[in-house]
Amino acid sequence: MRIMTLLLMLVLGSPAIAAEHEADVSGDISMQGVSDIQTEGTTIDELFSLYQPFGVNFAAYEPVYFLVGTNPEESKFQISFKYQFFREDNYIAVNHPWVKGFNVGYTQTSFWDLKTASAPFKDTSYKPEVFYLSSNMNIRPDWMKVFIINTGFRHESNGQGEDMSRSTNSFYLRPIFAFYRENGRFGLIVTPRVRFYIKNSDVSNPDLPDYRGCFDLDVKFGKAGNFVIGANLAFAKKGASFQTDLTYPLNNYIFRDLNLFLHVQYVDALAESLIDYRKRNRALRIGFALIR
């Protein structure tokens, strides 16, 4: 939950301002509207929010980070956001709360060769998806903080042509279990995922499921406002894949005004990128994250 989202929030401004001027947004610009936005102290964010009332529907989704590999050829960055179709205060959502779970998401993961003079991108995966996120289930035991069902359909491709083209589609089912202790502020999230491939390319990557697999397990443990360590383990016919991420807020000590996380990532995985999905990639990367 991730640079694109934050950029959008910078432009879209606060929802309170948008609600206050909703009539101006839906109608023609009037002299009264102009005078309203020329009051002392109005920021550019508040001004933009007058005309972007749906900006509050955007939120962070998957992690957003920029990482440089110890081998610069293995550098990597990712942006991600989601858009909720029906906000909590919408008429339909108030009367039919289950519709609040419908979302569209977008994640883009790029592998960047910073060692070469022209610094080309080795590959980029574009991952739009439509998904449903349930409310917190009441059937969970008392010691479990959150039990949510996430299911959706994702398309993934690298946007290239001919021999370099890679594409796949998948339907996934992912229950999310979260545990949290108020005393100590420690939390644990466990997320298994089952993936079913639909119309995977029979030309460019027919055997992708053999390398990526149909099941993975994601586990994150950390302290609120402090460190978080995560691990993802995937199982496939051609072997297992592993990725671990450690993040720590830089504003805890000397960088008090820097709202970034220190991010260290190690990966030993098949199919980390689509272009070389048959290759096992081992890389150590370090950088920063905006959303972890």
User: Tokens 């027919």 sit at which residue?
Assistant: 206
Residue 27 CA: distances (Å) to CA of 12, 33, 56, 63, 160: 19, 10, 20, 38, 43
- CATH 2.40.230.10 given to domain 61-291: yes
pLDDT of residue 118: 87
Single-letter code of the amino acid located at 250:
L
Q: Domain locations in the chain?
A: 1-55, 61-291
Percentage, residues of the chain above pLDDT 90:
73
Cβ proximity of 281 and 269 under 8 Å: yes
pLDDT of residue 255: 82
Convert the pLDDT of each residue in 20-67 to its tens digit: 333 333 333 333 444 444 555 688 888 888 889 899 999 999 999 999
Of these ranges, 5-19, 218-232, 250-264, the one predicted with the greatest mean pLDDT is 218-232
What is the residue-wise DSSP string for 189-222? EEEEEEEEE-S--TTT-TTHHHHH-SEEEEEEEE
Phi-psi domain of 79 (left: phi exceeds 0; alpha: psi -120 through 50; beta: other): beta
Where residue 13 falls among pLDDT bands split at 50, 70, 90?
very low
pTM reported for the whole predicted model: 0.82
User: Tokens 């051609």 sit at which residue?
Assistant: 238
